[in-house]
Amino acid sequence: MKIKNSQLRLIQGDIIEVNTDAIVNPANTHLIMGGGVAGAILRKGGSKIQEEANQKAPILVGQAVITNGGNLKAKHIIHAVGPRLGEGNEEIKLENAVLNSLNIMDENNLKSIAFPAISTGIFGYPIEKCAKIMISTIKNYLENRQTSIEQVIICLFTQEDFKIFEEFLI
């Protein structure tokens, strides 16, 4: 989908293999990279990512910080903390995690970013709600801001998740 001078795309695959300026790590507030997407990023990207993240932790739910990309194709990791299901104000917190990630992109003059489905793993947030919020937040940002971002990818690991996001992209 073309939005002004940017493109919003959905892909199915492994986010750590995406060749973008930055990928988003769906982080916890302490930025400890243990399991799930964070664990995969750490295993492939190396310990330098965790070392830099440790210097920036802790952060609040909805916030985001940037670190190096270690050995990954992506040059940077944006660690964005999404909400846990049931903690309250989840929609606003997820929207803020996405917005803060996009703001970091512009602050660093980066052109391409890949997001996973934030908070839908161990944080238990429903994939349908995540899809609606992430897509509407990204579209709104690209439509209403002066941005240097040329490409936003939402990378979904399963075909099922891809199909759910695809319904909300239209």
pLDDT in tens, 117-162: 999 999 999 999 999 999 999 999 999 999 999 999 999 999 999 9
Contact between residue 24 and residue 118 where contact means Cβ atoms under 8 Å apart:
yes
> Which token pair is 88?
């309250």
3-state secondary structure of 131: helix
d(CA 48, CA 163): 35
CATH code of 2-169, in short, is: 3.40.220.10
Residues of the chain with pLDDT below 50 are none
DSSP-assigned beta bridge partners for residue 6: 3
Residue 147's nearest CA partner among 103, 96, 113 is 103
Q: Which residue type, as a one-letter code, is found at position 164?
A: I
> How many Cβ atoms are within 10 Å of 138's Cβ, its own excluded?
24
* Domain definitions of the chain by residue range: 2-169
> How many Cβ atoms are within 10 Å of 119's Cβ, its own excluded?
27
Q: What is the pLDDT of residue 10?
A: 98
> How many Cβ atoms are within 10 Å of 134's Cβ, its own excluded?
25
Matching residue, tokens 């210097």 = 55
Q: What is the pLDDT of residue 170?
A: 75
Q: What is the pLDDT of residue 146?
A: 94
If you ran DSSP here, which 8-state letter would residue 98 be given?
H
pTM listed for this prediction: 0.97
